[in-house]
Amino acid sequence: MATILQINRLTKAYGPQIILDNADLIVSDRQKIGVIGRNGAGKSTLFKIIVGEEDIDEGEININERTRIGYLTQHSEHEEDESVIDFLMRSSGKQDWECGKVAGSFQIKNELLEAKIVSLAGGYQMRVKLIAMLLKEPNLLLLDEPTNYLDLSTQILLEKFLENYKGSFLLISHDREFIKRTCTATLEIEQGGMTLFPRPIEEYLEYKEEQLTMMTKHNVKIDQQKKHLQQFVDRFGAKASKASQAQSKLKQIDKLKTIEILHPLRTTRINIPQVEEKKGVALELEDLEIGYSDKSIAKDINLDIERGQKIAVLGDNGQGKTTLLKTLAGEIEKLSGTYKWGHNINIAYYAQHIPVALNFDETVGHYLKRVAPAGTLEQEIFEMAGNFLFKNEALKKKIPVLSGGEKARLCLAQILLQKNHVILLDEPTNHLDFETVEALAQALKNSNVTVIFVSHNRTFVGIVANGIIEVKNGEIRRYHHNYEEYVYNLQKEVEEDLGLVHEPKLNLGKDEKQELKKKVKAAKKQLNLLEKDMAALKEEKQTLLDWFEKNYKEFSEEKTKRLAEIEKDLTKKENEWMEIELELEVLKENPHE
């Protein structure tokens, strides 16, 4: 495979903080690479360096002359009143029909092409950015958190595109499930280094764990050998008769080398304070209508949510998920109907706009101490801060200088410190690395707090949710199946919209798979027997035909009768063969491996 990007001995630091240290990377044709690493490890910095937005301190960036880079970021390049088609034509320099053709593959057609970009939901705005990037015909994509703020439908659409993309890409994502479904190789940026593993993320993490275990065992063994040899030296080193042996043992000790293991990053674990156990209804909605003074979003909402439930609010962007949470949090007024919280319930609300408004003139550490409930131990405060990457010097940062992502993490730390009975969360996983996402998910799952949340992160929803509310076409109601079923049905809808044929496969258990294997094996055996029988019949038939050809003046009743029997038998066996072959094809389409 041809190399399209090569990075040698790359070093990048911001003051005393070293981001990349003598790091190397080679990207070849048709590589689909998931980029993972903790927040601040240098993932986005790497992308900015590749496209020339950031300078390097040392090293080389070699981009093949035929490499065309497409860089997808969170910021928008369209003008305020620009329509979709006008933006695509301006940014790509191509004709409207060319732009329309590519846009159609992302289900942006007809009136959507003429719509103002600012009027579109976030998922459709991301589609427009993808289309604009693809119109430049790149063969190397740099995708920095493309799933942030995307609804699940658009995520699946992007997933299908990446599955069929013929070029290479580097993908940063905080959703492990999305990486699993799209990437065949894994790049980890950790402690200044870059490791490219030519297999999917699950295999890489398993390999990494195995390597760590192997190195640890090796070092334990070496330490034991050193200790044993040192005991001999300590005991006999002073004796003249054993001096030469003691010196030999010292040389052996010197030759025994342990493998250097970089200081491992602490595994994230988040603990949410338990609240008092109470049974009953946490929230009751009766004929509720939500929306704004000039627009009704959804009405006739009738739902009960039990205490301790973890409810995912799902649906496409623009359907009303955030409006529902804002109404329940008391941020906006209901239009009609009622909603009623249970007795003595404390509610915390995390919304996407709240971190932006966080501007108290105090340090992170002082802020968390101030907002923590009375009686909270200082150690508990520091542990929660550390879970969201506020440790050491970061605790001394003033809140106004924090980035948007840092403020979001601070808000989550504050909410989880408090003993709230209900937590409302609107896209809490943005700005978190996937390890922290999963730690947060496990903490919410294991808590006895009632959680109502909006998220398009499949890993997060899959861990947390034990109930689903679907928001769709002006209706908000319970979805009475599990999350896997919800994703499966949505995926079918997207595939139908794209014109993709999807043959359903059986989801078989272990015993059923074994039975299916037996059927395949039996069918193959039967085919082999039929083929042998047919070969023998054809050989006998040819012998008879040869006899008739040589003895055309003679008549043999016996041979004529046998030839008719062979023809009949051959037809029967050929029909059997075709039926079994068709059955075998059907069996092969099912997951019997």
Q: How far is CA 407 from CA 290, 426, 524, in A?
A: 29, 15, 63
Percentage of the chain modeled with pLDDT above 90: 41
Confidence band, pLDDT 50/70/90 cuts, at residue 237 = low
CB 570 within 8 A of CB 534: yes
pLDDT tens column, 17-48: 889 999 999 999 999 999 998 877 889 999 99
pLDDT at residue 552, as a whole number: 64
pLDDT at residue 265, as a whole number: 42
Q: How far apart are CA 581 and CA 399, in angstroms?
A: 70
pLDDT at residue 151, as a whole number: 85
The 32-36 sheet, strands edge to edge: 69-72, 140-144, 168-172, 32-36, 185-190, 193-197
List for the chain the helix, strand, coil content (%; round to 5): 45, 20, 30
pLDDT at residue 553, as a whole number: 63
Q: Which one is predicted more confidently, 300 or 544?
A: 300
Nearest partner of 146 among 471, 457, 460, judged by Cα: 457
Task: State the pTM of this model.
Answer: 0.71
Q: Which one is predicted more confidently, 171 or 72?
A: 171
In our burial notation (b when 16+ CB lie closer than 10 A, e otherwise), range 112-130 reads: bbebebeebbebbbbbbbb
Is a pLDDT exceeding 60 seen at residue 541? Answer: yes
Instruction: Mean pLDDT check: name the lowest of 186-195, 213-222, 255-264, 512-521.
Output: 255-264
- Dig out the tokens for 237 from the structure: 């080193």
Is a pLDDT exceeding 90 seen at residue 246? Answer: no
- Map out the domains of the chain with their CATH numbers: 3-204 (3.40.50.300), 281-497 (3.40.50.300), 510-588 (1.10.287)
CB 232 within 8 A of CB 253: no
pLDDT tens column, 581-592: 767 766 665 544
Q: How far apart are CA 69 and CA 50, in angstroms?
A: 9
Q: Are strands 281-292 and 295-306 parallel, antiparallel or unpaired?
A: antiparallel
Q: How far is CA 340 from CA 9, 31, 307, 336, in A?
A: 61, 53, 13, 13
Q: Which one is predicted more confidently, 417 or 559?
A: 417
Q: Which one is predicted more confidently, 330 or 432?
A: 330
Is a pLDDT exceeding 60 seen at residue 593? Answer: no
CB 285 within 8 A of CB 313: no
Is a pLDDT exceeding 90 seen at residue 179? Answer: yes
Q: How far apart are CA 313 and CA 305, in angstroms?
A: 12
| Mean confidence (pLDDT) of the chain | 85
Is a pLDDT exceeding 70 seen at residue 260? Answer: no
Confidence band, pLDDT 50/70/90 cuts, at residue 261 = very low
pLDDT tens column, 107-153: 888 889 999 998 887 778 888 988 999 898 999 999 998 887 788 88
